[in-house]
Structure 1
Amino acid sequence: MRGDRVEVVIDAGDDTRTYEIEATRAGRRVEITHGRGLVEVTETTRGGTKVRTARFMANRVLALVEHPASQEPLPDDAAVTQLRQPA
């Protein structure tokens, strides 16, 4: 969803670097995969087509922070009431 973003902090030798990958258009999302020593952050469309990809060596990644898009409650959203009382 537009506004989803991921921050990746990596060790760059003497200092750290921060990269941000963000879903730039409506209907796109940011996915994270990791394996075989790589962390991959990909912006994908609704259909699953990869738009942009960033790859990082897993042993260099210090932090991986996901920031979901904020979803403000709409004016017509009503409070949800439980149907059953918990035991």
Structure 2
Amino acid sequence: MKGDRVEIVIDAGSGTTRTYDVIATRAGRRVVTTHSRGTVEVSEVTRGGSTVRTARFLANRVLALVEHPAADEPAPDEITPTLRTA
């Protein structure tokens, strides 16, 4: 869903960290996370299952993997009233 986001924090060596974001940029796309054979793979995928972009990291370097799902409905303070004229 547009707005899905995964934040990846990795150890860049010598005590420093780097942060990467993979974001679903268009409607109908989603972000998929896969762990296998010592790697972490985060991909943006279309409705049909085609991969648009992929980020791969060594699992032993990943410090944090945070998934931020898109909100289904706007929060009450984000709703703007509209005037109806009859």
Q: Which residue of 1 aligns with 2:12?
A: 12
Q: Which residue of 2 aligns with 1:28?
A: 29
More strand by share: 2
The number of equivalent residue pairs is 73
Segments of 5+ residues of structure 1 without an aligned counterpart are 74-87
Structure 1 residue ranges, 4+ long, deviating more than 2 angstroms after superposition: none
Distance 2:43 2:35 in 1: 11
Pairwise CA distance, 1:38: 0.4
> Cα RMSD over matched residues?
0.8
TM-score by length of 2: 0.83
Segments of 5+ residues of structure 2 without an aligned counterpart are 75-86
Aligned counterparts, 1:46-85, within 5 A: 46-72=47-73
Aligned-residue identity in percent: 75
